[in-house]
């Protein structure tokens, strides 16, 4: 099956059409086509000289809360201007077509929810939410500070995302592992497969006998282990796959 130079293996089309349970893991690559720079893309402008792996840490926030807060305000601006793209919408359709569907994302941009995906496991939180850095409760209305302070306890507020060195939200990785182990078909879309514990999900799926499909223009550590490694962008590849599996059969 090919479209626009993209070749989708016929047996994968059949496997998706017959699948009872599908689990999808997405990374920032699926949002690249919405204009949101991927996590490791060279940061632009003022932020070009900073390493995101350094800034997205409790240590950086403790050392310079204003700098980290401003970085997130800048990223919130990028995300706020972004709209879901065909890759997000293809996963909304896949959710409608497959009996049991679980969407797990590392992304903090909220674009899967904006596209209409039902339940999304946001393993690394959501940049659009703000929480108290001491109590962890979500705060809706922010004062002017950089960072603003919690109206209840006075501690700095912070984005509701998981920083490097922080544990994932309670129960999240367990739920994601369960979905990875229970599915017939696992997709890894637009992620460098470098950040743990999330990067362990496709290997858990493989060990449980699922077929694993990687969709990425580039190579990752998962590529040699994937059952299918589709070298393409998320939007085009997912749209082409859904077309082949479901729309032609109507």
**Contacts (CB under 6 A) with ligand BV8, residues 205-224:** 215-218, 220
Smallest separation, CB 211 to ligand BV8 (Å): 19
Smallest separation, CB 123 to ligand BV8 (Å): 8
Range in contact with ligand BV8 (rule: CB under 6 A) among 9-17, 141-149, 193-201, 242-250: 193-201
Q: Are 87 and 33 in contact (CB under 8 A)?
A: yes
Query: Which of 124, 139, 192, 201 is an active site residue?
Result: 124
| Angstrom distance (rounded) from CA 204 to CA 170 | 19
CA distances from 40 to 29, 123, 161, 181, 228 (A): 10, 18, 17, 28, 24
For the question of residue 88 being annotated catalytic, the response is: no
Q: Which residues on neighbouring strands pair with residue 120, listed in sequence order?
A: 103
Q: Which of 216, 180, 218, 183 is nearest to 199 (CA)?
A: 180
Total site size for ligand BV8, rule CB under 6 A: 35
The verdict on 136 binding ligand BV8 (CB under 6 A) reads: no
Range in contact with ligand BV8 (rule: CB under 6 A) among 2-10, 89-97, 138-146, 195-203: 195-203
Q: DSSP string spanning 134-198? A: TT--B--S--SSSS-B-TTT-PBEEEEEPPTTSPPSTTHHHHHHHHHHH-SEEEEES--S-STTG
Smallest separation, CB 87 to ligand BV8 (Å): 7
The verdict on 174 binding ligand BV8 (CB under 6 A) reads: no
The residues that are catalytic are 124
Q: Which residues bind ligand BV8 (CB under 6 A)?
A: 27-30, 32-33, 38-40, 53, 56, 106, 108, 124, 161-167, 190-192, 194-197, 215-218, 220, 233-234
């Amino acid at each position: 099956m090919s479209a626009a130079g993209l070749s989708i293996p016929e047996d994968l089309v059949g496997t998706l059409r017959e699948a009872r349970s599908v689990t999808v893991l997405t990374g920032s690559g699926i949002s690249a086509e919405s204009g949101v720079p991927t996590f490791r893309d060279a940061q632009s402008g003022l932020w070009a000289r900073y390493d995101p792996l350094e800034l997205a840490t409790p240590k950086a926030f403790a050392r310079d809360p204003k700098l980290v807060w401003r970085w997130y305000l800048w990223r919130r601006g990028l995300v706020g201007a972004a709209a879901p793209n065909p890759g997000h919408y293809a996963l909304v359709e896949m959710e409608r077509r497959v009996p049991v569907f679980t969407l797990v994302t590392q992304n903090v941009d909220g674009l899967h929810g904006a596209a209409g995906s039902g339940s999304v496991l946001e393993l690394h939180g959501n940049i659009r939410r703000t929480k108290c850095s001491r109590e962890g409760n979500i705060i809706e209305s922010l004062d002017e500070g950089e960072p603003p302070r919690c109206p209840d306890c006075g501690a700095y507020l912070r984005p509701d995302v998981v920083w490097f060195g922080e544990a994932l939200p309670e129960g999240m990785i367990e739920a994601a592992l369960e979905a990875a182990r229970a599915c017939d078909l696992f997709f890894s879309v637009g992620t460098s497969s470098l950040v743990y514990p999330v990067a362990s999900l496709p290997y858990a799926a493989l060990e449980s006998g699922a077929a694993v499909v990687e969709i990425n223009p580039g190579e990752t550590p998962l590529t040699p282990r994937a059952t299918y490694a589709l070298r393409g962008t998320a939007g085009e590849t997912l749209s082409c796959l859904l077309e082949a599996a479901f729309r032609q059969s109507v």
